[in-house]
Amino acid sequence: MNKCSKNCSCGSNDDLRSKVLDPCGLVDYQDGAIVSRTIVEKPSGTLTVFAFDKGQALSEHTAPFDAVVQVLDGKGRFMIAGEASDLSAGQMLIMPADVPHAVTAVEPFKMLLTMIRS
């Protein structure tokens, strides 16, 4: 399962621009928690890396913008408009704006969320 590098020297306050990054290494798993780190935040969109412990979930919600999820490690279940899709490392999914969606960790997993605002 764990394809993430353990060698990330990126502290929380580092400027990540122009650096080669392993997105998996930007967040660590924590027991019983969801950990997130926003790595780019601009008016046009954001990039956020998440680490979910097994069984952790984001309840159903909507967002006013399209979002792209790329699973980096492990396995997550994504519900979009009531339909489930299980994604594993290397797979991605586009979640359309204004459509209800939810996320559950089938096993510990990490994902990169790209929110597109324009």
Contacts of 90 (CB under 8 A, 6+ apart): 71
Q: Of 115, 117, 102, 15, which Cα lies nearest the Cα of 52?
A: 102
Q: Is the pLDDT of residue 110 over 80?
A: yes
Q: Is the pLDDT of residue 4 over 70?
A: no
Q: What CATH number has the domain spanning 24-116?
A: 2.60.120.10
Length of the chain, in residues: 118
**pLDDT beyond 70 at 2:** no
What pLDDT score was predicted for residue 62?
95
CA distance 47 to 107: 22
Contact (Cβ atoms closer than 8 angstroms) between residue 19 and residue 9: no
Residue 25, C-beta contacts closer than 8 angstroms, at least 6 positions apart: 4, 5, 6, 7, 8, 10
Domain regions of the chain by residue span: 24-116
- In this prediction, residue 7 carries a pLDDT of 45
Tens of pLDDT, residue by residue over 50-104, are 999 999 999 999 999 999 999 999 999 999 999 999 999 999 999 999 999 999 9
- pLDDT single digits (tens) 8-37: 445 443 578 888 889 999 999 999 999 999
**Which pLDDT belongs to residue 17?**
83
Q: What is the pLDDT of residue 13?
A: 39
